[in-house]
């Protein structure tokens, strides 16, 4: 198992270096989007409306941060269950999404799209949102403010700890025998 220090701007060119089970310290721009935001993004695509961020090359974190306490960049920011986004993910990957971050398994269609698009799925530690927030330097709402914690936010990560769960070759941490 290797530890990789990666900036999100390096995706997808570094995806081939990552193997399921590797550790990643991720820095750079990451966008939050959960269920309600994904639904709105797809409504925008259907209506031909410009998206709030460029999907191509983007990294998306399935998270809904808590309100920001005074003096901090963000509140608690742990992952949500990724499978709730499975219906949307293959199309976003086909549009160039490079990296997804969440927790839990993904379905076969998502796994196939990860391989097809040389993307990667990284897992964050569930239940450690307060600790994870210490690796987020800034947080700006960029879309769907009315969704509260589920609004789309632009985060700046600094050495955010993650595990490669599904690599671009089909290696899948959830299918490995221990």
Residues near 71 by beta carbon (within 8 Å), at least 6 away in sequence: none
Catalytic residue selected from 34, 38, 103, 153: 38
Say what the alpha-carbon torsion angle 23, 25, 162, 53 is, to the nearest 10 degrees. Answer: -140
Residue (of 29, 30, 44, 8) closest to 144 by Cα position: 44
In the annotation, is 4 catalytic? no
Q: Which residues contact 83 (CB under 8 A, 6 or more apart)?
A: 104, 105, 106, 107
Give catalytic residues, as residue numbers: 38
């Amino acid at each position: 198992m290797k530890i990789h220090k990666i900036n999100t701007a390096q995706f997808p060119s570094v995806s081939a270096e990552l193997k399921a089970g590797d550790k990643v310290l991720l820095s750079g721009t990451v966008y939050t989007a959960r269920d309600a935001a994904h639904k709105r993004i797809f409504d925008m695509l259907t209506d031909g409306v410009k998206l709030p961020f460029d999907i191509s090359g983007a990294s998306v974190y399935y998270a809904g941060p808590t309100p920001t306490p005074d003096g901090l960049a963000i509140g608690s920011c742990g992952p949500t269950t990724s499978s709730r986004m499975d219906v949307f993910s293959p199309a976003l990957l086909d549009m160039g999404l490079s990296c997804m971050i969440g927790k839990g398994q993904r379905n076969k269609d998502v796994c196939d799209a990860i391989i097809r698009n040389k993307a990667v799925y990284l897992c964050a530690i569930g239940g450690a949102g307060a600790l994870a927030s210490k690796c987020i330097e800034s947080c700006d709402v960029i879309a769907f403010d009315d969704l509260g914690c589920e609004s789309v936010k632009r985060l700046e990560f600094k050495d955010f700890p993650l595990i490669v769960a599904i690599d671009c070759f089909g290696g899948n941490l959830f299918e490995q025998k221990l």
